[in-house]
Structure 1
Amino acid sequence: MVQPKLEGKVAIITGAAAGLGEGIAETYVKYGAKICMVDLSADVDATADRIRGMYPGAEIVTAVANVADRAQMDAAVAKTVEAFGPINVACCNAGVCRLAPFEQMSDEMRDFHIDVNIKGVWNTCQAAIPSMLSNGGGAIVIASSVTGDIVADAGEAAYAMTKAALVGLTKCLAVEYADRHIRVNCSQLGYARTPMVEKMAVESNPDDPEAAINDIAVGVPMKRLAKPTEVGELFAFLGSDEASYITGAQMVIDGGSTLPETMSIGTN
């Protein structure tokens, strides 16, 4: 009998109430992990119940916490350890994106991105790493983006800056903890159909946000956005022992959207 790739592993997943975090949580449970689903929204409890309904016997705890607050993340980690034992995997998924012209972007909006996208990952890693070290190692998967490090759109200055910063953090932590058996990798997602992307679509085209989403798909060679569970599969691989010799890597998952040089030149 083949053992599920995450059987017996304990994982903490941030931003887990909806969107990518929900997809990651669902995939981790499918592969046998015990998980703590963390989110600022109390909706995380309903999401956990939905996943339990899909996978009877799933071992899940939830924590309502703000990733930007280190003490709250320490408490979420402590709750995870109390329920399941030391943490093996930290999925640093929580993130935000708000669009605005750069010259109109307020300090508050800039700092909102920094607090969640950078400090949130920082806090999650600092909270989880001592538990990993106590258990001989583990894996960290950070949700960066193709935005900032590879491509960018107008109005994304704060998001692009913060997501690009996570690539640097990934590489540094990968080097720093390699000899202590903690692997650190990051995903670089294009677009998935999530509440965050739907909000961005409203900001981009208030009169017809669905047209904005359809236009994204037109620019993707696969002609669609990712499903959250497809991103979950990448997170599951990077968190599993199957990825035992992979650290410091940037894994693009974008349906090929960053590949075309143009959308008008070439043969079919």
Structure 2
Amino acid sequence: MGQHIQGKLEGKTAIITGAAAGLGEGIAEVYAKYGANICMVDLSPDVEHTAARIRGLHPDARIITITANVADKAQMIDAAKRTADTFGTIDIACCNAGVCRLAPFEDMTDEMRDFHIDVNIKGVWNSCQAVIPYMLANGGGSIVIASSVTGDIVADAGEAAYAMTKAALVGLTKCLAVEYADRHIRVNCSQLGYARTPMVEKMAIESNPADPESAIRDIAAGVPMKRLAKPTEVGELFAFLGSDESSYITGAQMVIDGGSTLPETMSIGTN
């Protein structure tokens, strides 16, 4: 049975996108641990099964689920309204929903490019526009955007659309942080390296169809900590940025990558 930890997110209401699996599931689990009221949003109806699992870990958790597409602004406005109608307000938005498909740049279709833009950029844009009116009415709030080390710091071949869209979220984070600072809405972004999620597993299959696990092992080998992140470790960062513990942090880019972007080479040095 999961332990309910008093404080931190007690009494706060959070909307979490992309919550059916992977990072969103990890974020929701940690938010439940810290006592938040949660709306879990995902395009997949599996989000309800995920919520049931989290309720099993934290029986006192107050969770609703909504099946919605972040790329559809009207659906996100409705999700925000239903969240506020249920819990009274919205204090935190975890804009986590995202997609990544790999392809050589010369083979990347306009449809694939636009798919990334629709979910990764417009999805965050829509989510922010949906929740900010409630935060303004409530006197403030916190928005946590899932960017990436990819695009802003590093990139691999075949990631053009993903890198472009995730880098764009850093600019959005900084602008919104400045624009709403005097109205007590903080906006920060996480920059994750690799976590063991369904999205990363799909990328491993695209990278090495014959042996995707070897691609996962190779990722871990390049990380100084020699492993991928757990989704709940990312959830802890989102909980910190959503809570009053980070009350003087806004416009920040928080790298969480086990040190993977630190080595200058893989062959030079004393280790």
User: What interval of TM-score do these two structures reach, taking the shorter chain for normalisation?
Assistant: over 0.9
Q: How far apart are residue 57 of structure 1 and its match?
A: 1.7
- Name the SS of the counterpart of 2:147 in structure 1: strand
- Rounded Cα–Cα distance in structure 1 between residues aligned with 2:42 and 2:98: 11
Cα distance between partner residues in 1 of 2:60 and 2:239? 19
1:23-54 deviations in Å (ceiling 9; x for gaps): 00000010010000000000000000000000
1:48 & 1:138 partners in 2: Cα distance? 24
Equivalent of residue 80 in structure 1, options 71, 83, 97: 83
Partner of 2:132 in structure 1?
A: 129
CA offsets 1:201-238 (integer angstroms, 9 cap, x no match)? 00000000000000000000000000000000000000
Aligned length: 267
Code of the aligned partner of 1:112:
F
Structural mapping, 1:1-268, within 5 Å: 3-268=6-271
List per-residue Cα deviations over 1:229-252 (Å, max 9, x = no partner): 000000000000000000000000
Q: After TM superposition, give the deviation of residue 4 of structure 1 in Å.
A: 1.7
Q: How far apart in 2 are the matches of 1:56 and 1:99? A: 39
Amino acid at match of 1:153: D
For the residues of structure 1 that align with 2:143 and 2:85, how far apart are their CA atoms?
Answer: 20
C-alpha separation between the residues in 2 aligned to 1:3 and 1:21? 22
CA distance in 1, matches of 2:222, 2:164: 23
Cα deviation for residue 116 of structure 1 reads 0.1
Partners of 1:238 and 1:116 lie apart in 2 by 22
- How far, CA to CA, are the matches of 2:211 and 2:172 in structure 1? 37
Give 5+ residue unaligned stretches, structure 2: none
In 2, Cα distance between the equivalents of 1:147 and 1:206? 22
Q: How far apart, in 2, do the equivalents of 1:85 and 1:23 lie?
A: 24
- Aligned-residue Cα RMSD (Å) equals 0.6
Question: In structure 1, how many angstroms separate the alpha carbons of the residues matched to 2:224 and 2:173?
Answer: 28
TM superposition shift of 1:3 = 3.9
In structure 2, C-alpha distance between the alignment counterparts of 1:101 and 1:88, rounded to whole Å:
41
Deviation at residue 82 of structure 1 after TM alignment: 1.1
Name the SS of the counterpart of 2:173 in structure 1. helix
Residue 138 of structure 1, CA deviation: 0.2
Matched residue SS, 2:143? strand
CA displacement 1:96-138 (0-9 Å, x = unmatched): 0000000000000000000000000000000000001110000
SS at match of 2:266: coil
The normalised TM-score by structure 2 is 0.98
* Identity among equivalent pairs (%): 84
Distance in structure 2 (CA, Å) of the matches to 1:17 and 1:129: 23
Q: What letter is aligned with 1:239? A: G
Tell me how far 1:56 sits from its aligned partner: 0.6
